[in-house]
Amino acid sequence: MTTATAFSAPVDCTVKYRPFPPVGLTDRTWPNATITKAPMWCSVDLRDGNQALVEPMGWERKLRLWDMLIAMGFKEIEVGFPAASQTDFDFVRMLIEENRIPDGVAIQVLTQSRDALIARTFEAVRGAKHAVVHLYNSTSTLQRKVVFGLEKEGIIDIAVKGARLIRSLADSMPETKITCQYSPESFTGTELDFAVEITEAVMDVWQPTPEHRMIVNLPATVEMAGPHIYADQIEWFARNVKNRDTLILSVHPHNDRGTAVAAAELGVMAGADRVEGTLFGNGERTGNVDVVTLALNLFTQGVDPQLNCSNIAEIVETAEYCTRLPVHPRHPYAGELVYTAFSGSHQDAISKGLNALRKSNQPVWEVPYLPIDPADVGRGYEAVIRINSQSGKGGVAYILERDHGLQTPRRLRIEFSETVQAITDTEERELSPDEIWNTFETDYLSRDTADNPWSITEYTTIPLGREADSPRSLKALISHNGTTTAIEGTGNGPIDAFVNALNAAFTLDIQVLDYHEHAVGSGADAQAICYLETTVGGKGPLFGVGRHTNIVMASLEAVISAVNRSGRARYQG
Ligand SMILES: CC(=O)SCCNC(=O)CCNC(=O)[C@H](O)C(C)(C)COP(=O)(O)OP(=O)(O)OC[C@H]1O[C@@H](n2cnc3c(N)ncnc32)[C@H](O)[C@@H]1OP(=O)(O)O
Ligand SMILES: CC(C)C(=O)C(=O)O
C-alpha cells in the first residue's frame, strides 16, 4: 500500500517573486579572466559566523578558532563586533593584552555607523599593532524603505557621519595602524550607481591613497541572483568607482542560492582583490562563502591558495567544536565521504588510476573521480574504496590487494565479487575491509574441516628424468572427512601429477583451466599464493586458492581449495 504525500496547492511564484534585473554590462570582461593568484583572505568566522550560531562562541571557543585561523595563515581576521557584546569586547582585549596577534596579522572589527558604537570599537582595538575598522550601513532600496525610512541622502549621511568619526579616532591613535573598511551592506540589493556614490562619499572622508588604501567590501548580504550577476555588479563597480587604485575591493558572498563559492570566484575574476568568508561556510542563514573550498579550488588548479589546508580533519574538528555545527559528510574536500567511492565503475577507475599513477611516477595528479589527492589535505587512502551493494569486482580486488597484497586474476575477481554482492544485497549494508577479507579467507583459504572435508597433510615429488621438463611423480597424504589416504600420480609437473593422483584415487574429475601465482610479503614472512581455475566433477569454472611458504604446497592447497569449494551450496544442483 502506498501513502499519498500531502502537498498544498503551489504558490503562484510568478506573482509573488520577481526576476532579478540584469546589470546590462554587455562588454563584461570577467568571463575571459583566469585566477592566477590567491586573493587576500579575511576570515569572518569570529564575527559573521559567530552571529549566526544558536549558541555564540564564548572566549574559549573563539580562542581555539582564532588559533586555527592563525595556523592556517589568515592575515586578516574579523574578530567580532566589540561594541555589540561584552564577550566580543573582552575577546579583542585579550588578544591585544595577551599579545596573541602575530606580526603581519590584522584584527578586524565591525561597527554600525553610530557614534557610541564607533567610540567603543576604538576602545576595543587600543594597543593593537594593526586593526581594520569595518563600518557598514545598509544601502539597498528595500532597507532604505522599510528599515531606515530614508532617502538616499539620509543613507549617505549615516555613512559619512560614521566615516568622519572613524577618521578622527584613527588620527588620535597613531600607535595603531588603522585600515578603514566600508561596506554598503545589502550591496546586491542596491542600485549600482548609488553604491558607487555612497562609497565615494566615504572615500572623500577617508582620503585613501595607493599607499594607504581603504577596503571597499561589496557584500552579497543576501544572494539574490546568479553568480554571473554578482560578477557583473563587481565589474561594473570596479570600472565606475573613482580612484580604483586607492581601494582594496573585497567580496563577501552569502550562500542563499547555494552559489556563494561560484559568486566569490567570479567576483575575483571580475576584479575583486579580497574575499571575506568562513570555514566550511558557516554564517547567516545558508552561510557565508566557504573559504576552505575556495582555497582548495585554487590549489587544484595549481594556484597556491596561501592558506594551509593540509590537515583538513583538524580544521573540521575545530570548526565543529567551536560552532557546534556538523560539517556535512559530502562537504567539498572536507566531508567524511568525499574521498570514498562505493559504486563499482568509480572504484574500478580509481583503482586503475592509482595503479597507473604509481607506475608512471609522474608528478601530475590524474586519478578518475578524485579531483584532489586525499593526502594533500591529510586524508588517507583507506576510505577511498568502500564496499556495499553498489560495488563491483574492481573495488573488492582493490581492498584485497591494498590490505593483503593479493593480485587476483580477473575471473576470480568476478567470482568473488558475486559472493560479496550476495552478502551486501542480503544484509543491505556496507562490508568492512576485515569482513571482506574474512569472507575471502573462509571461502578460499580456510582449513576448517566442517566446511572443507578435503585437506592435504604432506607431499613428496621427484622428477622422472634428468631434463628440466621431465614428468614428475608425486605422492601425498590426503584427508577426506577424517580418513587419510595415500595417493600417487605422475604428470607434467607437480599440479598435473597431484590432479591425476586425486582423480585416480577419488574419481573427482578435476580439470585445471588456468593458473596464477605470486609472492606475498618478503624475507622470512614471504608466502606464495596460487590461484587455480578449475572444473571439478563438471562443476565450475571455479577457483581454488592456496597459500604457503612452499610454492608447490601453495599450488596443491589451491587444488584442494577448489575441490572443497565444488561442494559448496552455490555449485550444487
Ligand atoms: C549583515 C550583517 O551581518 S550586519 C552585522 C549584524 N550583526 C549584528 O547585528 C550583531 C551585533 N548587533 C547587536 O548586538 C545590536 O544590533 C547592537 C548592540 C549593535 C545594537 O543594538 P540596538 O541598538 O539595541 O538594536 P538594533 O540593532 O535593533 O538597532 C537598530 C537601529 O540601528 C539602526 N541601524 C542598523 N544598522 C545600522 C548601521 N549600520 N548604522 C547606523 N544605524 C544602524 C537601525 O535603523 C535601528 O534604528 P532605530 O532604532 O532608529 O529604528
Ligand atoms: C557587515 C556586512 C559586510 C555583512 O556581514 C554582510 O553584508 O553580510
pLDDT tens for the chain, residues 1 to 573: 566 788 999 999 999 999 999 999 999 999 999 999 999 999 999 999 999 999 999 999 999 999 999 999 999 999 999 999 999 999 999 999 999 999 999 999 999 999 999 999 999 999 999 999 999 999 999 999 999 999 999 999 999 999 999 999 999 999 999 999 999 999 999 999 999 999 999 999 999 999 999 999 999 999 999 999 999 999 999 999 999 999 999 999 999 999 999 999 999 999 999 999 999 999 999 999 999 999 999 999 999 999 999 999 999 999 999 999 999 999 999 999 999 999 989 999 999 999 999 999 999 999 999 999 999 999 998 889 999 999 999 999 999 999 999 999 999 999 999 999 999 999 999 999 999 999 999 999 998 888 999 999 999 999 998 888 889 999 999 999 999 999 999 999 999 999 999 999 998 999 999 999 999 998 888 999 999 999 999 999 999 999 999 999 999 999 999 999 999 988 986
Residue from 47, 76, 81, 252 to probe ligand 2 pocket by mutation (most atoms less than 8 Å from CB): 252
Alpha carbon nearest to ligand 1 atom 12, residue: 84
Cα–Cα distance for residue pair 271/225, rounded to 1 Å? 19
Cα–Cα distance for residue pair 411/541, rounded to 1 Å? 9
Per-residue confidence (pLDDT) for residue 270, from 0 to 100: 98
Q: Which ligand is nearest to the CA of 187?
A: 2
Helix H or strand E encompassing 511: strand 510-520
Residues forming a β-bridge with 517: 530
Look up cell 553568480; give the residue: 227
Strand 274-277, strand 527-536: pairing: unpaired
Q: For ligand 2, say whether the CB of 219 is within 6 Å of any of its atoms.
A: yes
Residue from 50, 87, 112 to probe ligand 1 pocket by mutation (most atoms less than 8 Å from CB): 112
Give the ligand 1 atom nearest the CA of 186.
Answer: 1
ipTM: 0.97
Please report, as a single letter, which amino acid is at residue 10.
P
Contact 408, 401 (CB under 8 A): yes
Please report, as a single letter, which amino acid is at residue 203.
M
Per-residue confidence (pLDDT) for residue 115, from 0 to 100: 98
Cα–Cα distance for residue pair 241/271, rounded to 1 Å? 12
Residues ≥6 apart with Cβ < 8 Å to 466:
none
Determine if the peptide bond prior to 253 is cis (ω within 30°).
Answer: no
Q: What does DSSP assign to residue 216?
A: E
Q: From residue 369, how far is each of 179, 189, 415 by CA, in Å?
A: 44, 39, 26
Instruction: Please state the pTM of the whole predicted model.
Output: 0.90
Burial class (CB in 10 A: 0-12, 13-18, 19+), 136: buried
Output the known binding site for Mg(2+).
Answer: 48, 252, 254, 288
Domains in the chain, CATH or no CATH each: 39-323 (3.20.20.70), 357-445 (1.10.1220.20), 454-571 (3.30.160.270)
Rounded distance from Cα 47 to ligand 2 centre (Å):
10
Determine if the peptide bond prior to 541 is cis (ω within 30°).
Answer: yes
Burial class (CB in 10 A: 0-12, 13-18, 19+), 87: middle
